[in-house]
């Protein structure tokens, strides 16, 4: 088991994620994404992490969906990873930016063809009268693109949460849990501290 000793929370997160990949039965990259609209009304949903590096935590979605609209309007978000098999969680908060178009293009090209077609067919988060309407749209876009390359829709892109705070939580007996908190300092590095459970 990893120890919480590093001064770099991104490096520690990668260690914990690798251990989750080995132990979690389903979707170790699943995370809760919490956003808020321009009035501060919150919403949350489960999505999948696609990349993490020193720049932040990246995921992809329809920018016209509820989460995309809220990310563009508010510019801040929080993430939560919960790995039940390890009895751990990580919470992250920070500002959000869109990834470069070239990054979105590269990732979109790796998606299964059905998912690429789905990105065109789904008016994500908007009312759907009947499932058949979605199926018709999928068929229409599948016919449109035939066997050729499916380009990335302009409304489908990636977002990166650039963390300002990261907390690592580990279960301990008698609810005396370990909580290690990192926060970006005024000089741009990381300040590390402990929190009461």
Q: Where are the alpha helices (DSSP H) in the chain?
A: 9-23, 66-74, 101-110, 113-121, 131-145
* Active-site position among 113, 131, 170, 175: 175
The answer to whether 175 is a known catalytic residue is yes
Separation in Å, CA 178 to CA 37, 87, 185: 33, 11, 22
Sign of CA dihedral 3, 174, 168, 44: positive
Give the span between the Cα atoms of 85 and 180, in whole angstroms.
19
Residues with Cβ within 8 Å of 179's Cβ and at least 6 positions away in sequence, in order, are 167, 168, 169, 170, 194, 195, 196, 197
CA-wise closest residue to 190 among 96, 49, 98, 92:
92
Active site residues: 175
């Amino acid at each position: 088991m990893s120890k919480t000793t590093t001064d770099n929370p991104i490096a520690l997160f990668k260690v914990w994620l690798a251990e989750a990949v080995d132990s979690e039965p389903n979707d170790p990259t699943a995370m809760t994404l919490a956003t808020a609209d321009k009035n501060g009304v919150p919403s949350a949903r489960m999505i999948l992490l696609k990349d993490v590096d020193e720049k932040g935590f990246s995921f992809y979605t329809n920018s016209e969906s509820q989460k995309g609209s809220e990310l563009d309007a508010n510019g801040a978000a929080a993430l939560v990873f919960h790995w039940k098999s390890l009895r751990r969680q990580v919470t992250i908060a920070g500002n959000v930016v869109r990834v470069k178009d070239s990054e979105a293009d590269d990732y979109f090209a790796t998606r299964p063809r059905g998912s690429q077609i789905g990105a065109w067919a789904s008016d994500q988060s908007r009312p759907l009268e009947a499932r058949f309407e979605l199926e018709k749209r999928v068929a229409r876009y599948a016919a449109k693109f035939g066997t050729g390359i499916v380009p990335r829709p302009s409304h489908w892109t990636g977002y990166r949460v650039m963390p300002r705070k990261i907390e690592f939580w580990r279960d301990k007996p008698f609810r005396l849990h370990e909580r290690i908190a990192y926060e970006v300092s005024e000089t741009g590095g990381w300040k590390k501290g402990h929190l009461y459970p």
